[in-house]
Homo-oligomer: A and B are copies of this chain.
Amino acid sequence: MSKMTKKERFLATSLKLINEKGFKATTIRDLASSLNCEVANIYNYIDSKQSLLETYLFGISNEFHFAMDTIIDSKISSEEKLKLIIRTHIDLMVKKPYELALLVNEWRNLKEPKLSTFIAEKNTYENKVKTVIKEGMEQGVFRSLDLEIATFTFLSTLRWLHDKNTGYPIKMDPLEIEKQITQFVFSGLCID
């Protein structure tokens, strides 16, 4: 337990620092001084700086996929599925804001072959979202927009949350955020 606690605390501190400075800009010595320990000591916790990034990224990536698969397999309408996708993103933003910011900003720093693996997972996720939207369009529930554009525009509406919620405390009630974004996505800005 104490073993885990120590490593976990290291991982948490690192995550925060990497978010502030960026992965490339954060040196092992930065991590060490932020943890009040010696540089070499860090290698008691991790194999390499790269593996640290990999741990974070594939960690949340898995969480997203797990949630997504649950949603897709459930017997609910396309509209409800999309609502749940929005809810999942906001949930994860509240619970793991730093990991989410990494997912958006730092995945480019992965190296092959992990980079390809990650991109594949990313594409798979996007395709699952695309499928939900496609179903909705075919059922006449969603407007028949270009599928690619609709999917990526939708995903984008969930992305600014990460940019805004790193470092700052989340002021607004998550449920309220969810309500607002759902309304934007489903009904748009205009009244008519």
Chain A residues near B (Cβ < 8 Å): 22, 24-25, 79, 82, 105, 108-109, 133, 136, 140-143, 145-146, 148-150, 152-160, 164, 172, 176-177, 180-181, 183-192
Q: How many copies does the complex hold?
A: 2
Contact B22 A184 (CB under 8 A): no
19 A-B residue pairings within 8 Å (CB atoms): A22-B24, A22-B109, A24-B24, A141-B190, A143-B190, A145-B180, A146-B172, A149-B172, A149-B177, A152-B164, A153-B157, A153-B180, A159-B159, A159-B160, A185-B189, A186-B188, A187-B187, A187-B192, A188-B188
Given contacts A24-B25, A108-B22, A142-B191, whether A153 and B181 have CB atoms under 8 Å apart is: yes
A96 to chain B, nearest CB (A): 19
Contact B25 A109 (CB under 8 A): yes
Contact across chains for A184 and B141 when beta carbons are under 8 A apart: no
Q: Which residue from B22, B24, B150 sits with its C-beta under 8 Å from A180?
A: B150
Prevailing SS type, chain A contact patch: helix
A143 touches B189 (CB 8 A): yes
Since A22-B108, A146-B180, A149-B172 are in contact, a sample of 4 more A-B pairs with Cβ atoms closer than 8 Å, ordered by chain A residue number, is: A79-B190, A150-B180, A155-B160, A156-B157
Q: Is the Cβ of A187 less than 8 Å from the Cβ of B188?
A: yes
B155 touches A82 (CB 8 A): no
Question: Which of A177, A180, A192 has the most chain B CB within a 10 Å cutoff?
Answer: A180
